[in-house]
């Protein structure tokens, strides 16, 4: 088997696949005016997704994250999960969701083969949650997380984007939340994208101050697994839950990159903030193109840059994360 390794010695067991660009939230840092479709885009269909995943699995990909947009807006999500789970070599299937449909749907996703769940919840305060997301769905999301905790997932994680002046005083509440719950809360440093420059300048907060608070309170950094996501994970003997910190502006963040992305339209994106996408869709129309697909992915990996240009404010062709799959 050929392995997904680039010129910088990084290997890529982890694929993030966007299932749709559509989202029903209006997060202030992502889609403040809501999702606006350009024309009537056709996102990858189930058979295209199966071929795509078989191609990546042939190159050693073993963990896939389904994301968006909001992936739960796809009615065929359980069928997609089941199809991905059936591909030889895929051992872990994770989903990132805004969580508002969890109470109705999460059991079905688990039964279809989902192994891990990430739920976005930017505040533990319902009014703040509404102000940040534009949706009054705090109750559903929190109830959905409780339900997910009883379904035997390998991991349940909660994503919180750190926002200066909006939710940056909530660490004590999150610690209380983690005391008895077997989940990880991951604080994500706000990233600048093509569309959110002004918001970013007002609300960006470096994750380092949070890491210092955690270390001072006795939280300890844990070792990172080869197919782990971008978070540095901290644990504390008095707490059942764990804390992850994703700091994309930290030095060496890209050195640990083990992820490739494919957009909902079937473009391979080598970096969240890259300047180009590589169309894979033409090679997803027939099983006969499997070898050509594998070859195209392997060749393109040689072009993956050592790091993103975010420090220079270079956000590539990413207007917002919903467009590429966050």
Torsions phi, psi for 96 (to 5 deg) = -110, 125
Closest approach, Cβ 302 to ligand SAM, in A, equals 28
Closest approach, Cβ 89 to ligand SAM, in A, equals 25
How many whole angstroms separate alpha carbon 212 and alpha carbon 306? 27
Of residues 57, 65, 91, the one with CA closest to residue 294? 57
- Considering only residues 84 to 123 of the shown chain, the ones binding ligand SAM according to CB under 6 A are 96-98, 120
Q: Kindly state the tokens that stand for 160.
A: 């919180």
How many whole angstroms separate alpha carbon 178 and alpha carbon 238? 10
Q: Are 160 and 188 in contact (CB under 8 A)?
A: yes
Of residues 243, 115, 223, 255, the one with CA closest to residue 177? 243
> Mask of contacts with ligand SAM, 175-214, x by CB under 6 A?
-------------x-xx-x--x------------------
Binding flag, residue 245, ligand SAM (CB under 6 A): no
By C-beta, is 150 or 194 nearer to ligand SAM? 194
DSSP-derived 3-state class of residue 59: coil
Closest approach, Cβ 98 to ligand SAM, in A, equals 4
By C-beta, is 35 or 239 nearer to ligand SAM? 35
Q: Which residues contact 198 (CB under 8 A, 6 or more apart)?
A: none
Q: Are 186 and 157 in contact (CB under 8 A)?
A: yes
Q: Are 62 and 13 in contact (CB under 8 A)?
A: yes
Strand partners, 156: 117
Other beta carbons less than 10 A from residue 173's beta carbon: 13
- Considering only residues 138 to 177 of the shown chain, the ones binding ligand SAM according to CB under 6 A are 159, 161
Binding flag, residue 316, ligand SAM (CB under 6 A): no
Binding flag, residue 68, ligand SAM (CB under 6 A): yes
Closest approach, Cβ 287 to ligand SAM, in A, equals 30
Which span (63-71, 107-115, 265-273, 304-312) binds ligand SAM, by CB under 6 A? 63-71
Binding flag, residue 70, ligand SAM (CB under 6 A): yes
Half-sphere exposure in the Cβ direction for 217 (13 Å, CA): 17
Closest approach, Cβ 67 to ligand SAM, in A, equals 5
Other beta carbons less than 10 A from residue 292's beta carbon: 13
By C-beta, is 98 or 263 nearer to ligand SAM? 98
Binding flag, residue 326, ligand SAM (CB under 6 A): yes
Strand partners, 116: 94, 155
Binding test (CB under 6 A) with ligand SAM, winner from 4, 19, 22, 30: 30
Closest approach, Cβ 320 to ligand SAM, in A, equals 6
By C-beta, is 58 or 190 nearer to ligand SAM? 190
Residues lying near ligand SAM in the complex (CB under 6 A): 23, 29-30, 67-68, 70, 96-98, 120, 159, 161, 188, 190-191, 193, 196, 321-322, 326
């Amino acid at each position: 088997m050929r392995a997904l390794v680039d010129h910088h010695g990084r290997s890529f067991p982890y694929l993030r696949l966007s299932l749709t660009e559509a989202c029903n939230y209006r997060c202030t840092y992502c889609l403040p005016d809501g999702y606006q479709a350009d024309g009537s885009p056709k996102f990858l269909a189930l058979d295209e997704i199966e071929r795509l995943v078989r191609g990546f699995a042939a190159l050693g990909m073993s963990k896939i994250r389904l994301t968006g947009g909001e992936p739960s807006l796809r009615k065929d999500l359980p069928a997609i999960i089941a199809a991905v789970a059936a591909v030889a070599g895929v051992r872990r299937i994770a989903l990132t969701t805004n969580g508002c449909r969890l109470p109705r749907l999460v059991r079905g996703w688990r039964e279809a083969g989902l192994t891990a769940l990430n739920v976005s919840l930017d505040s533990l305060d319902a009014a703040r949650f509404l102000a940040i997301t534009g949706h009054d769905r705090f109750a559903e999301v929190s109830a959905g997380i409780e339900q997910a905790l009883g379904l035997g997932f390998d991991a349940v994680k909660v994503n919180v984007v750190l926002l200066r002046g909006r939710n940056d005083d909530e660490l004590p509440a999150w610690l209380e939340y983690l005391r008895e719950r077997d989940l990880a809360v991951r604080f994500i440093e706000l990233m600048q994208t093509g569309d959110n420059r002004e918001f970013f300048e007002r609300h960006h907060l470096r994750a380092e101050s949070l890491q210092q608070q955690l270390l001072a309170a006795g939280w300890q950094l844990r070792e990172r697994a080869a197919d782990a996501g971008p978070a540095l994970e901290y644990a504390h003997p008095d707490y059942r839950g764990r804390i992850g910190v994703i700091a994309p502006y930290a030095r060496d963040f890209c050195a640990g990159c083990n992820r490739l992305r494919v957009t909902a339209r079937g473009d391979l994106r080598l970096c969240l903030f890259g300047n180009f996408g590589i169309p894979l869709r033409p090679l997803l129309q027939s099983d006969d193109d499997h070898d050509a697909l594998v070859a195209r992915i392997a060749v393109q990996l040689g072009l993956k840059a050592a790091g993103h240009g975010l420090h220079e404010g270079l956000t590539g062709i990413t207007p917002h994360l919903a467009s590429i799959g966050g």
